């Protein structure tokens, strides 16, 4: 771009951007925002003046005011982002025990495949004859997902688990409406992930909670009492967010179907059962699969993700368009035929889904094979039970009877009287070099601490983690009325780039846009 003709970017009015108040810690650099770094009177690149003035081509569209972006050189830019990246925890640094999130290693083979030009450099508007391999790969992903779940159809477009829930509930609503039986309510258990009731409400349903028994599983009597002719669907996570398999799932499906409702399964925890259990055999009508959890595609920090939804025979006609099909001319994306389009709910997103995630997930599926995927589930469950066993004598397992699935859940009962809260304990893990576990979720367990190691951790790393947590737990339990000994929990983290943040304010009044300090 010709900087001369649009004027150099001028620095927005800012107060002093003196960041020297904070100092680098060791090799960890402090880093201001890119806008505060400035470089307002320079650009990172030198481009020759165009032969003709830009106005010749742009006419009225020529930019009148400066664009107000800072100009940094390549090394400045690189350092900025590398410094920022070092402020965060990453799965490539250490165990990332966030329960329900399935933070597992992202194999580099997947990355290599996703960068092949035939996958990485294509465009969704390219003629379909030029992307035959990519379409075939999408069909391969669909085939594996259908085979692993025992379901006849899959919608690939959803871009995340929550988006998959939206897809599933829109298909369910379309199916009810096609029968002239619009229903009003969706049931979710108290332990449900927040996205379940949020999705149901977004689609326009009223949400009714169903209770859980003392064993952490759906209370069948409460479910039966709340099912009725106005219930559109039950949304159930299995294994559930307490890390437990819903043993009565067949009965749950039977009761749901008997009431004319659909059984939506939140499949975010598929990692625990992939290759072992086919949700289609359990009576599930729709289930999203988080490729970024079970199938190892990278996530965190809000994306990217992919949440394909497998659908039963009854819901398949209501899937969003397009589908990948093959005929004598090769692979292509098919849209609903006219007339048929009125049955489904149309498109869920502009194109066909997250191609980069499909390639990574497919590489993961093919490199593991079905035996390998079964072992993924077995090792994920084994690792979680190892943690439950190693920490269970000090901390309070929320459901001590029997093994857990892929995550170990503790309540804060063991901290009672110590003055240390779940939040204090989780924050103090940062000072030990570990990302905290999921805390205060699921809501049904008081002061919950939910630990999911995933199958990609070795015994040595699990031990390193358990030793650190045990050390902290012993310190919390042994502090007694020793105020100084409690202090480390109250002020933690002290070794992180930022100390304790006001999480309520961050959630209620997020500042998502930089503006010049006034
Ligand atoms: C992660 C998760 C979701 C939401 O998935 P996103 O991909 O983050 O939108 C829904 N339910 C459960 C149980 C989850 O763990």
Task: Indicate the top mutation candidate among 193, 241, 296 to test ligand 1's pocket, ranked by most ligand atoms within 8 A of CB.
Answer: 193
Residue 435 and residue 286 share a domain: no
Residue 450, both tokens:
């939910």
Q: Is the peptide bond before 351 cis (omega within 30 degrees of 0)?
A: no
Q: Domain boundary at 365, 393, 414, which? A: 365
User: What local confidence, expressed as pLDDT, does residue 198 receive?
Assistant: 98
pLDDT of residue 186: 98
Domain identity same for 260 and 355: yes
Q: What is the average pLDDT value for the chain, to the nearest integer?
A: 90
For residues 207 and 197, give the distance between their C-alpha atoms in angstroms, rounded to a whole number. Answer: 6
What are the b/e assignments for 252-268, b being 16+ CB within 10 Å? bbebbbebbbbbbbbbb
Q: Return the ligand 1 atom nearest residue 102 CA.
A: 15
Judged by DSSP in three states, 31 sits in coil
Dump pLDDT digits (tens) for 230-289: 999 999 999 999 999 999 999 999 999 999 999 999 999 999 999 999 999 999 999 999
Check residue 6 and give its pLDDT: 38
Name all residues whose Cβ lies below 6 A of ligand 1.
Answer: 100, 160-162, 193, 195, 237, 241, 266, 268, 290, 305, 307
What is the mean predicted confidence (pLDDT) over 13-30? 55
In this predicted structure, the answer to whether residue 457 has a pLDDT above a threshold of 70 is yes
Closest CA to 148 of 324, 266, 252, 294: 294
Residue 341: is its pLDDT beyond 70?
A: no
Please name the residue whose Cα sits nearest to atom 3 of ligand 1: 161
Comparing 190-204, 259-273, 440-454, 504-518, the range with the smallest average pLDDT is 504-518
Claim to verify: residue 343 and residue 416 sit in the same structural domain: no
C-alpha of residue 165 to centroid of ligand 1, in Å: 9
Residue 23: predicted pLDDT: 60
From the list 118, 163, 403, the residue with the least C-alpha distance to 307 is 163
Residue minimizing CA distance to atom 8 of ligand 1: 161
Strands 449-451 and 286-288 come out as unpaired
Residue among 103, 236, 268 whose CB has most ligand 1 atoms within 8 A, to mutate: 268
> What is the Å distance from ligand 1's center to 236 Cα?
12
Say whether both 315 and 409 belong to one domain.
no
Residues 308 and 413 placed together within one structural domain of the fold: no
pLDDT at residue 191 tops 50: yes
Q: Is the backbone of residue 298 left (phi > 0), alpha (psi -120 to 50) or beta?
A: beta
Evaluate if residue 343 carries a pLDDT over 80.
Answer: no
- 322 neighbors 340 (Cβ within 8 angstroms): no
Evaluate whether residue 72 is within a structural domain.
no
> Would you say residue 396 lies in a domain?
yes
Q: Cα(161) to centroid of ligand 1, in Å? A: 5
Of 314, 334, 365, which residue constitutes the final position of a domain? Answer: 365
Using the atom order of ligand 1, give the atom closest to the CA of residue 292.
7
3-state secondary structure at position 188: strand
Q: Tokens 């995630």, residue?
A: 357
C-alpha–C-alpha distance, residues 61 and 378, integer Å = 60
Give 123's contacts (C-beta < 8 A, 6+ positions apart). none
Taking the CA of residue 160 as reference, the ligand 1 atom at the shortest distance is 7
DSSP letter assigned to residue 377: H
Lowest mean pLDDT among 5-9, 43-47, 151-155: 5-9
How many angstroms separate the alpha carbon of residue 449 from the centre of ligand 1?
17
Considering the domain architecture, whether residues 166 and 268 belong to the same structural domain is answered as yes
Distance 194 CA to ligand 1 centre (A): 9
Residue 422: give its domain's CATH number.
3.90.1150.10
Tell me how crowded residue 275 is: count the other CB atoms within 10 A of its CB: 18
Q: Which is nearest to 396 in space by CA: 459, 487, 473?
A: 473
Nearest one of 358, 370, 384, 398 to 104, comparing CA atoms: 384
Same domain, 152 and 297: yes
Tell me the residue range of the domain where 441 lies.
371-508
DSSP state of 209: E
How many angstroms separate the alpha carbon of residue 142 from the centre of ligand 1? 20
Residue located nearest, by CA, to atom 5 of ligand 1: 161
Do 345 and 376 lie in a common domain? no
Q: Is the peptide bond before 304 cis (omega within 30 degrees of 0)?
A: yes
Kindly tell me if the per-residue pLDDT of 394 is higher than 80.
Answer: yes
Q: Please list, in sequence order, all residues whose beta carbon lies within 8 angstroms of the beta carbon of residue 482, skipping any fewer than 6 positions away.
A: none
* pTM reported for the whole predicted model: 0.90
Contacts of 36 (CB under 8 A, 6+ apart): 14, 17, 19
Of the residues 365, 389, 418, the one at which a domain ends? 365
CA distance linking residue 360 with residue 368, whole number of Å: 12
Ligand 1 midpoint to CA 268 (Å): 6
Q: Give phi and psi for 502, each to the nearest 5.
A: -85, 90
Q: Above 60 in pLDDT, residue 329?
A: yes
Q: Quick one: pLDDT band at residue 185, thresholds 50, 70, 90?
A: very high
Q: Return the percent helix, strand and coil in the chain, to nearest 5.
A: 40, 10, 50
In a domain, 498, yes or no: yes
Residue 64 belongs to a domain: no
In a domain, 70, yes or no: no
Nearest ligand 1 atom to alpha carbon 305? 7
Residue 245 covered by a domain: yes
Angle, alpha carbons 306-115-292 (nearest 5°): 20
Ligand 1 centroid, distance to 190 Cα (angstroms): 16
Q: Whose CA is nearest to atom 14 of ligand 1?
A: 268
Query: According to the model, what pLDDT value does residue 135 have?
Result: 97
Write the pLDDT tens digit of every residue in 280-311.
999 999 999 999 999 999 997 766 899 999 99
Does residue 29 sit within a domain? no
The reply to whether 190 and 260 lie within a common domain is yes
Q: Is 283 in the same domain as 323?
A: yes
Whether 166 and 226 share a structural domain? yes
- Tell which atom from ligand 1 comes closest to the C-alpha of 195: 10
- Segment among 207-216, 329-338, 415-424, 499-508 with least mean pLDDT: 329-338
Per DSSP, the three-state class of 235 is strand
Tell me the longest C-alpha to C-alpha distance in the chain: 79
Q: Is residue 93 part of a domain?
A: no
Cβ atoms of 452 and 409 within 8 Å: the answer is no
Same domain, 420 and 487: yes
Cα–Cα distance between 133 and 139 in angstroms, integer? 10
* Domain count of the fold of the chain: 2
Whose alpha carbon is nearest atom 2 of ligand 1?
268
Does residue 81 sit in helix, strand or coil? helix
Tell me, what CATH number does 357's domain have? 3.40.640.10
């Amino acid at each position: 771009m010709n900087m001369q003709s649009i004027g150099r970017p001028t620095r927005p009015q800012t107060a002093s951007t003196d960041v020297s108040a904070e100092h680098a810690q060791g090799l960890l650099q402090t880093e201001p925002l890119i806008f505060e770094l400035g470089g307002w009177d320079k650009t990172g690149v030198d481009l020759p003046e165009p032969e003709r003035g830009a106005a010749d081509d742009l006419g009225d569209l020529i930019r009148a005011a400066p664009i107000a972006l800072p100009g940094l050189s390549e090394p400045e830019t690189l350092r900025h982002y590398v410094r920022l990246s070092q402020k965060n925890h990453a799965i490539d640094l250490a165990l990332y025990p966030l329960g329900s999130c399935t933070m597992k290693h992202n194999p580099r083979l997947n990355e290599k495949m996703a960068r092949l030009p035939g996958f990485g450099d294509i465009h969704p508007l390219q003629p379909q004859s030029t992307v035959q391999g990519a379409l075939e790969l999408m069909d391969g992903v669909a085939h594996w997902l259908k085979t692993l779940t025992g379901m006849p159809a899959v919608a690939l477009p959803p871009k995340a688990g929550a988006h998959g829930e939206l897809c599933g509930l829109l298909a369910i609503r379309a199916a009810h409406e096609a029968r002239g039986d619009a229903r009003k309510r969706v049931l979710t258990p108290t332990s449900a992930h927040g996205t379940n009731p949020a999705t149901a409400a977004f689609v326009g349903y009223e949400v009714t909670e169903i209770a859980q028994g003392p064993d952490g599983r759906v209370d069948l009597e409460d479910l039966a009492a709340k099912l009725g002719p106005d219930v559109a669907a039950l949304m159930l996570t299995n294994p559930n967010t307490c890390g437990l398999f819903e043993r009565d799932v067949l009965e749950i499906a039977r009761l749901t179907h008997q009431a004319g409702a659909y059984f939506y399964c939140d499949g975010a925890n598929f990692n625990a059962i992939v290759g072992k259990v086919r949700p289609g055999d359990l009576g599930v009508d729709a289930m999203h699969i988080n490729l970024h959890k079970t199938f190892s595609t990278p996530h965190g920090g809000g994306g990217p993700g992919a949440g394909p939804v497998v659908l039963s025979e009854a819901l398949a006609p209501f899937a969003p368009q397009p589908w990948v099909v093959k005929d004598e001319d090769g692979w292509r994306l098919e849209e609903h035929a006219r007339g048929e389009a009125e049955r489904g709910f149309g498109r869920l997103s502009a194109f066909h889904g997250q191609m980069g995630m499909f390639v990574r997930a497919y590489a993961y599926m093919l490199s593991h094979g079905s035996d390998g995927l079964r072992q993924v589930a077995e090792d994920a469950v084994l690792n979680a039970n190892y943690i439950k066993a190693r920490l269970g004598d000090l901390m309070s397992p929320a459901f001590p009877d029997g093994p857990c699935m892929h995550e170990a859940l503790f309540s804060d009962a063991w901290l009672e009287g110590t003055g240390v809260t779940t939040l204090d304990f989780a924050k103090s893990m940062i000072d030990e070099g570990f990302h905290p576990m999921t805390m205060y979720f699921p809501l049904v367990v008081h002061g919950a601490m939910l630990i999911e190691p995933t199958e990609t951790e070795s015994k040595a790393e699990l031990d390193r983690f358990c030793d650190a947590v045990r050390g902290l737990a012993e310190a919390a339990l042994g502090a007694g009325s020793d105020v100084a000994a409690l202090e480390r929990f109250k002020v933690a983290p002290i070794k992180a780039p930022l100390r304790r943040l006001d999480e309520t304010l961050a959630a209620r009044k997020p500042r998502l846009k930089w503006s010049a300090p006034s």
